[in-house]
Amino acid sequence: MAIDEVFKALADPTRRRILRMLQSGDLSAGEIAQEFGIRGPSMSHHFNVLKHADLIEGKRDGQQIVYSLNTTVVQDMLAMFMDVMQPKKEPTGESQ
């Protein structure tokens, strides 16, 4: 887990939002992408950054890639931190 990668990954609001989405459960690339006004390839890039930071993990399930949070101690702290800074919402939670 390269600390530099983690902080760089967190520097982007889109990626932080992806992490927050995954806090409520696993989601496919498409399900995540849907919530953003961003094309697939750009989303794919964000997934890659998060994977390299070891913050998420992707598993193929049929045609889709299902992403899940890597919940190690550090990443739990991170989740905590992100909750303090910006609580996640219930319904179609969206802000930043």
- The residue ranges that bind DNA (CB under 7 A) are 8, 11-12, 14, 28-31, 33, 37-49, 58, 60, 62-65
18 binds its own copies (CB under 8 A): no
| Dihedral sign computed on CA atoms, order 16, 69, 49, 36 | negative
Nearest CB to its own copies, comparing residues 31 and 72: 72
Stated length of the chain:
96
Which stretches of the chain are DSSP H helices? 3-10, 13-22, 29-34, 40-52, 73-85
Size of the site for its own copies (CB under 8 A): 19
CB 40 to DNA: min, Å: 4
> Which one of its own copies, DNA, none is in contact with 73 (Cβ closer than 5 to 8 A by kind)?
its own copies
Q: Using CA atoms, how far apart are residues 68 and 42, in angstroms rounded to an integer? A: 19
Q: Using CA atoms, how far apart are residues 64 and 36, in angstroms rounded to an integer? A: 18
24 CB neighbour count, 10 Å cutoff: 11
62 binds its own copies (CB under 8 A): no
- Site residues (vs its own copies, CB under 8 A): 3-4, 6-8, 10-11, 13, 16, 73-74, 77-78, 80-81, 84-86, 96
